[in-house]
Structure 1
Amino acid sequence: MALLQDLIQQIDDPALRERILQETNKLVKQKKFGLVFEEHLPECTPLYDVPIRVGSKVARKIGYVSDIYTVLKIEGSAVLCDRRETHEQVTLQMDEIVAIAEFGEPIYPTLKPIDYVENAPANDLWHTLIEADNYHALQLLEYLYAEKVDCIYIDPPYNTGAKDWKYNNDYVDSSDAYRHSKWLSMMEKRLKLAKKLLNPKDSTLIVTIDEKEYLHLGCLLEETFPEARIQMITSIINRKGVSRKGNRADSNKKEITQFSRVAEYLYFVMLGDASIKKSEHNMLDTPNNRIAETDGQEQVGWLSMLRRGAASHRADKPKHFYPIFVDHQKRTIVGVGEPLDLSEDRKTVQSVEGIDIVWPMRTDGSEGRWQLKRETFIAALHAGTAKLGTYNRKQNRWAINYLNQGIKDEIAKGAIIVEGKDEKGALILKRVTEKLVEPKSVWNQTPHNASEYGTTLLNSIIGSDKFTYPKSIYAVKDTIAMCVSSKPNALVIDFFAGSGTTLHAINLLNAEDGGKRRCIMVTNNEVSADESEELTAQGYQPGDCEWENLGIARHVTWPRTVCSIKGNNIEGSPLTGTYGCDVEQYIEIEGEVTDSETGKRIRGKVYKKVKLPAYPNLADLKMSDGFKTNAAYFKLSFLDKTSVALGRQFKELLPVLWMKGGAIGKCPMVDEGDLPNMLILPMNKMAILIDEIYYPEFDDQMALYPEIQTVFIVTDSEPAYREMIRNYNGKDCYQLYRDYLDNFRINTGR
């Protein structure tokens, strides 16, 4: 542009020069720097619960929802419609069409209860699944949780062209000059709403993607979140690789071989003070391809069972003098003898071939005693807190080791981590030190394998072939833990919920560290392309039960949620296995090695490959145990604005108010008939004054339940509302229905 302006300045005619400069400046202002794409016209959402009237905008249930008609006349089941694109007038049947909402129109959403699973009645933690177009769900969530969300994790469609589900990866429009435009437009609108949900002082957005769109997504994130710190991670999700074949771009159409895909990418968008936690794992090294190392961490020392110092002789505690029998070949303890009286000679205990007898003998040859009495030592062996130590060839004796109470206290406090047990049942321990490391930008973790811990796990819960390419539950857990491990009460949202891995992972994370993080998932209920064709051939349409029951929300996401919480599969049988995720690792043991100088075989440290839990804290959590938590399933519906303003749809709005109050306790319901004057709900930590003339009684009730945190007042008078909440400092107060209506009126023109 600078060169162009220099050339313009060389024009002799001042009027012409000025005119060209003006037009050039207009072009400069119109120029969009950064990511350039065609911004698509608004999307549309079918509103199956909204009645169709004259003037309604509708679309065919079978067809494109963006092919819009306006209702001109209704006679019985026949509906005369004007098609927007061609103004052709056609008569359609009422059961063929559905009311629609276009992008940017003011909407008045509510949540229609569908189902719930309650596996912890005394627990006030409730997760939620919302069946909805995620754009309109995000609008509702903005009203509920603006700037209150700690982490958003999304796995959006990768725009590969596959047609397995809606948001079906096919975001290439034939009218686009740029094949990425439609996908980028779809993502941009949702990311702008997501930004309004995130806490600007400390929160993180995580987006997974593959090579099809990672460059464009990165630019879009930079434009949408210019104030954020953004990093991209490469994560190995399938070491075997996924074959990538394609055709040449020219007319030859010859198939060519491409690199096999083993990884995907994760963008971390960190706002405010958000940071990634340091860990003892750098996420790059994996037990599969290295010998286990301490990374500078101190090993836990086992203590000798032989008593030393004061009161260390046999006579000091005769009950602590007993033989321990060791199979020399197998190098394991095979028995524990009875204590001997002081008058009994230890030589009376006869040896058996191949079995060594180990006594508590002092270095000067005198008889000592063990640290633990016989019964305590046997219990320690079973618990893994006692074990056979090394064999001293020179002294021809075995060491016996144990863990004292101090070590056990450190384990209880978390200063020492139990990583599992070795092949002989002894605990494998590692001391936690302050030397933590920053995770690296390439992750290579066995539990992140999407095939084994995504597809196989999901199929074991809900059956095979119901969802393609689910994420590894451990990959999602580890990813989110990077951001919320220090936030035990974090609010996490996933608005591309898919198979429901995120909520499953949050439950796993809570089980691992005792947190009470809450998860909100959003997914639509579209069926696959093949199922759509089959259902249509059978005469079914979207909205029919037969159609809806095969949608992703009802067929995959919710069944997985229910089953994983209850601990059984879709058939009702208990799930098998634990969440510890046993993987092959190398451990250090005593064995025979070759001396590098003499070439002789001697006893020394060797490494053995064994299967140990990758997550020791979850090793005892059986999948059949499920999770002590609860979840509610809602469908996004829409209300008539006038009815809301008049207070006629309070019952329909109650789930929305419950969510705005933090979704604490089971969602309340009101019986059919006249509404009560007020609702005092201490179990939900919320209260609603429905009839303002009963404010004095309401105020008295509020005084009885100080735990109530959220207050709704139904009144048309702003001064009256301010007067009524004057005593509720520190509580979250809202005026109905003005607060609700004003929020969604703002949605116009987005």
Structure 2
Amino acid sequence: MALLQDLIQQIDDPILRERILQETDKLIEQKKFGLVFEEHLPECTPLYSMPIRVGSKVALKTGYVSDIYTVLRIDGDNTICDRRETHEQKTFRLDEIVVVAEFGEPIYPTLTPIDAVENAPDSDLWHTLIEADNYHALQLLEYLYAGKVDCIYIDPPYNTGAKDWKYNNDYVDGNDQYRHSKWLSMMEKRLRLAKKLLNPTDSVLIATIDEKEYLHLGCLLEEIFKEAKIQMISAMTNKKGSTRPGQFSRAGEYFFYVFMGNHTIEQVNDNMLLSNDEDDESEQTITIWNSLLRRGTAALRSDRPNLFYPIYVDKETHKILYVGDSLALEENRNNIPWPSTLPSSAVICWPLRKNNVEGRWQVGQDTLRKRMAEHRVKAGQFNATTQQCSIVMLKDKQMEQIENGLLEILGTDDSGAYVVAQKTGDFDSVQNPRTIWVRDRHDASVYGSTMLRNIIGGQKFTFPKSLYAVHDCINFSLKSKTHALILDFFSGSGTTLHAVNLLNAEDGGHRRCIMVTNNEVSADEATALTAQGYQPGDEEWEKLGIARYVNWPRTVCSIEGHDINGNPLSGNYFGSDIPMSDGFKANAAFFKLSFLDKTSVALGKQFAELLPVLWMKGRAIGKCPVLNTEELPPMLLLPENKMAVLIDETFYSEFDNEIRKYSEIQTIFIVTDSETAYREMIRNYDGKDCYQLYRDYLDNFRINTGR
């Protein structure tokens, strides 16, 4: 019904439009049961890389993308266009309009390289970021990985009406009788494609949502994934709560798990399920060690002056040498005398917060000295930026866990502190994660917004997920699947790839992540850019979009271990001894989804442009190859990518001889128009993945349309 209403809105005659709307309202004044929602006009996508020709369907770059014109004539820099709905002819400059693709039309996508980061040249593991409308990206991914994805994690727009980003977080249509229709219509299209990507025998889809749409998303998942097992997790993601006037403050969200086939949740050590201490929002050396620096409320020197005192540490051995006495509030810390007995390698550690604001320790010096004697305190690595060492301790809660057998003491280190680990081999301490998660590390304010701001600066993205919430979501499903393929097609700020890299660093895994996000700018920035004369597609506009302004910079910085200004990231990742400044032994490639001309592809004129797609279909092994010559070679042997392409079939004998030399090649592409010849050529390649070009590619996108 909403499709009809969308069409009615395009009627220029206001009296006729109102009359027809009144009649359609009568038709829909009937009670509905279950998840019934109104379909909308199919989505349209601007194709900025496609040339404008006579006959092209176009829209204004700054207009409504579904307000479509047909190009009748091109006269220099101007075009004469016919508006589809009214047949009114208008003249536009070429730089004012863009070619559009309507939902259901065959499209022929490819990937245009934008950038790459390589921090593990000896590794063949490459992650990918695709800048695209995610519906068309999912169509491409269906061609590449149908039935091969192990985990899909998505954090879709919550339909709150927010316009911080134009990532269409406002899917409510004023014409809808049912206010959730447009959002549901958008999600349904994408989830149906997502289902085709998942391994039907063993995979999981994880979707996060809040109370605005969780009921409707749950019903939609039940409808699309009828054969799957579905559970919903409740998680605290904002301890302070998001204030809503006259309502309860929202402190949590919901995570839907959709289990395909035989997929099950991994069992975990029991203390992974415990809530962290409320005072502890710090980065820790390992899970059970807590920062001595006070966080949260009453955390300044002026709040508890007697808890401001120096701790002297040998920066080379990390041994605590001496604990000084507390300073009076009026005393300047820079004026205290230096103990003459300390070695030259000693440094002084103060309870300093960000920007050198004077904080305070959690316990007094006498208590600290007592805990040192009990092997409960130690110093971390020396930080060259702050010129200090972090100080951590075992709290009473951890001592109780030692007594209860959840933790065990393995001995003492060189500084005299306990070496403590989670106890293993105890059946009672291993169980399935529970359906209610209350963990400090899942706080999106501290480990989402603050962490992202520390990496790329400024408030460039609102409400990113906690890194550790996403890490745990994936870890509970893929802990033992160290070579899993993970997809996030609402990737926003890039948390998912960050979490996958952290998980790989923890257990030596080889999990691969594909992220998809559009490159929309925020509503405010769009207004400012338009006022300056810029339009979507202009470089000044594009560089401020989500993909290029937030996601990719975060990806590069987290992999290389520095912030956007090149300064080393400080601290360790929560729950591990992995320094953030070490980065990750990982590689990632950044692509923009582009579109090709079907005829040119069929004639073999766009092989170079298709090469990144072939690389991804060959499981994205090694660095994406680039063809730097206009003249195509008869064959392309890429053992470092474990793939090969026969471009000229008359060279098959030579190609076959070369293939036999490289046992590592697992993916083979054959360019031929003959199905019979193709079958004959691949007869000796049992156990390898073989594809016929360009028929395999063209047929896929010609047939799989109108879905």
| TM superposition score category, shorter chain reference | 0.7 to 0.9
- Are 2:231 and 1:231 equivalent residues in the alignment? yes
Report how many residues are paired.
Answer: 561
The residue number in structure 1 matching 2:473 is: 479
Q: CA deviation at 1:64?
A: 1.4
Alpha-carbon offset, residue 430 of structure 1: 3.2
Counterpart of 1:272 (choices 261, 264, 285) is: 261
What is the Cα deviation at residue 182 of structure 1? 0.3
CA shift digits 1:236-285 (9 cap, x unpaired): 0111111012xxxxxxxxxxx10011000000000001111111137653
For the Cα contact (< 8 Å) 2:150–2:198, is it kept in 1? yes
1:418: how far off? 7.5
Per the alignment, residue 401 of structure 2 pairs with none
| CA 658–31 in structure 1, closer or farther in 2 if over 3 Å, else same | farther
Match of 2:222 in 1: 222
Give the SS at the match of 2:72.
strand
Alpha-carbon distance in structure 1 between the residues aligned to 2:410 and 2:43: 52
Check 1:389–1:687 CA distance in 2 against 1; reply closer, same or farther (3 A cut). closer
**Amino acid of the residue matched to residue 259 of structure 2?**
M
Task: Report SS of the residue matched to 1:679.
Answer: strand
Query: C-alpha displacement at 1:85, in angstroms?
Result: 2.5
**1:526 counterpart = 2:520:** yes
* Residues 296-344 of structure 1: CA deviation (Å, up to 9, x unaligned): xxx9xxxxxxxxxxxxxxxxxxxxxxxxxxxxxxxx9999xxxxxxxxx
* Corresponding residue to 1:451 among 445, 451, 454: 445
Q: Alpha-carbon deviation of 1:713?
A: 0.3
SS state at 2:432 partner: coil
Alignment of 1:399-548 (within 5 A): 425-433=417-425, 434-435=427-428, 436-548=430-542
Q: 2:629 aligns with which of 661, 672, 676?
A: 672
- Given that 1:686 and 1:708 are in contact with CA atoms closer than 8 Å, whether structure 2 keeps it comes out as yes
More deviation, 42-51/71-80: 71-80
Letter matched to residue 673 of structure 1? E
Shift of 1:387: 8.9
Q: Look up the match of 1:356.
A: none
**Can you list the C-alpha shifts for 1:102-151, whole angstroms capped at 9, x where unaligned?**
11110000000000000011100000000000000000000000000000
1:119 matched to which residue of 2? 119
TM-superposed CA distance for 1:166, in Å, is 2.4
- For residue 672 of structure 1, report the CA deviation from its aligned partner: 2.5
Once the 2 structures are TM-superposed, how far is the Cα of residue 32 of structure 1 from its aligned partner?
A: 8.3
Establish whether residue 261 from structure 1 lines up as the match of residue 250 from structure 2.
yes
How much has 1:83 moved relative to structure 2? 1.3
**Structure 1 contact 286–444 (Cα < 8 Å) conserved:** yes
3-state SS in 2 of match to 1:497? coil
Identity %: 70
- For structure 1, which segment, 681-690 or 62-71, has the greater mean C-alpha deviation from structure 2 after superposition? 62-71
Across the aligned residues of Structure 1 and Structure 2, the Cα RMSD in angstroms comes to 2.5
Counterpart position of 1:606: none
Change (3 A) 1:204 1:516: same
CA 1:426 to 1:387, structure 2 compared with 1: closer, same or farther past 3 Å? Answer: farther
**Further displaced range: 425-434 or 229-238:** 425-434
Equivalent residues of 1:60, 1:97 under 8 A apart: yes
Q: Contact conserved, 1:77 with 1:93, CA < 8 A, in 2? A: yes
Quick check: 1:282–1:437 contact (8 Å CA) kept in 2? no
Whether the 8 Å contact between 2:375 and 2:417 is mirrored in structure 1 is no
Contact 2:375 2:418 (8 Å CA) reproduced: no
Query: Are 1:419 and 1:430, in contact at CA under 8 Å, matched by a contact in 2?
Result: no
SS at match of 2:70: strand
Q: Contact 1:286–1:446 at 8 Å: present in 2 too?
A: yes
- Which of 276, 280, 301 matches 1:287? 276
Partners of 2:414 and 2:441 lie apart in 1 by 20
2:697 is aligned with 1:697: no
Residue pair 2:106, 2:705 contacting (<8 A) in 1 also: yes
User: Which whole-Å deviations, capped at 9, do the CAs of 1:202-237 have from their partners, x for residues lacking one?
Assistant: 000000000000000000000000000000000001
- Matches of 1:485 and 1:52, distance apart in 2: 49
Aligned-partner Cα distance in 2 for 1:69–1:334? 77
Change (3 A) 1:696 1:333: closer
Q: Name 1:566's counterpart in structure 2.
A: 560
Alpha-carbon distance in structure 2 between the residues aligned to 1:737 and 1:419: 63
Give unpaired runs (5+ residues) of structure 1: 1-26, 246-256, 292-298, 300-331, 336-385, 391-414, 582-614
In structure 2, do the counterparts of structure 1 residues 234 and 221 end up closer, same or farther at CA, with 3 Å as the change threshold? Answer: same
Match of 1:556 among 550, 553, 562: 550
Give the TM-score of the pair, scaled to structure 1. Answer: 0.72
> Could you say which residue in structure 2 is the equivalent of 1:596?
none
After superposition, residues 580-619 of structure 1 pair within 5 angstroms as 581=574, 615=575, 618-619=576-577
1:329 — aligned with what?
A: none
Question: Secondary structure of 1:288's match?
Answer: coil
Instruction: Report the equivalent of 2:204.
Output: 204
Q: CA deviation at 1:75?
A: 1.1
Kindly state the Cα deviation for residue 81 of structure 1 after the two structures are TM-superposed: 1.0
Which residue identity lines up with residue 63 of structure 2 in the other structure?
G
Contact 1:418 / 1:430 at 8 angstroms: preserved in 2? no
Question: Any idea what SS the aligned residue of 1:185 has?
Answer: helix
Task: Tell me how far 1:558 sits from its aligned partner.
Answer: 0.3
Q: For 1:161 and 1:507, how far apart are their aligned partners in 2?
A: 32
For residue 150 of structure 1, what is the amino acid of its counterpart? D
Shift of 1:389: 8.6
Taking a change above 3 Å as real, the CA distance of residues 209 and 282 of structure 1, as seen in their structure-2 partners, is farther
The answer to whether the aligner puts 1:170 opposite 2:170 as a matched pair is yes
1:705-744 superposed matches below 5 A: 705-744=662-701
State the alpha-carbon separation in 1 of the partners of residues 157 and 204 from structure 2. Answer: 20
Shift of 1:287: 3.3
Q: 1:422 to 1:494 in 2, by over 3 A?
A: farther
TM-score (norm 2): 0.77
Task: State the 1:428 CA deviation.
Answer: 1.7
CA displacement at 1:286 relative to structure 2? 1.0
| 1:543–1:426 CA distance, 2 compared to 1 (3 A) | same
Shift of 1:710: 0.3
Q: Is the 8 A contact 1:504 1:561 kept in 2?
A: yes
- Work out whether 1:653 is the aligned partner of 2:610: yes
* Partners of 1:575 and 1:623 within 8 A in 2: yes
For 2:70, the equivalent position in structure 1 comes to: 70
Of structures 1 and 2, the larger Rg is shown by: 1
The residue identity in structure 2 corresponding to 1:264 is: E
Once residues 69 and 191 of structure 1 are traced to their aligned partners in structure 2, the CA distance between those partners, rounded to angstroms, is: 30
Opposite residue 57 of structure 1, the aligned amino acid is K
CA distance in 1, matches of 2:693, 2:649: 11
- The code of the aligned residue for 1:534 comes to A
User: In the aligned structure 1, how far is the partner of 2:704 from the partner of 2:412?
Assistant: 54
Structure 2: unaligned runs, 5 residues or longer: 1-26, 281-287, 289-318, 323-371, 377-406
Q: Deviations over 1:470-526 (max 9, x none)?
A: 000000000011111110000000000000000000000000111000000000001
Kept in 2: contact 1:228–1:269 (CA 8 A)? yes
Structure-2 residue corresponding to 1:404? none
Query: Displacement of 1:448 after TM fit?
Result: 0.5
2:411 and 2:418 in contact (8 A); partners too: no
Opposite residue 163 of structure 1, the aligned amino acid is K
Aligned residue in 2 for 1:181: 181
Query: How far off its partner does 1:40 sit?
Result: 1.0
Query: How much has 1:630 moved relative to structure 2?
Result: 0.2
1:98 and 2:87 matched: no
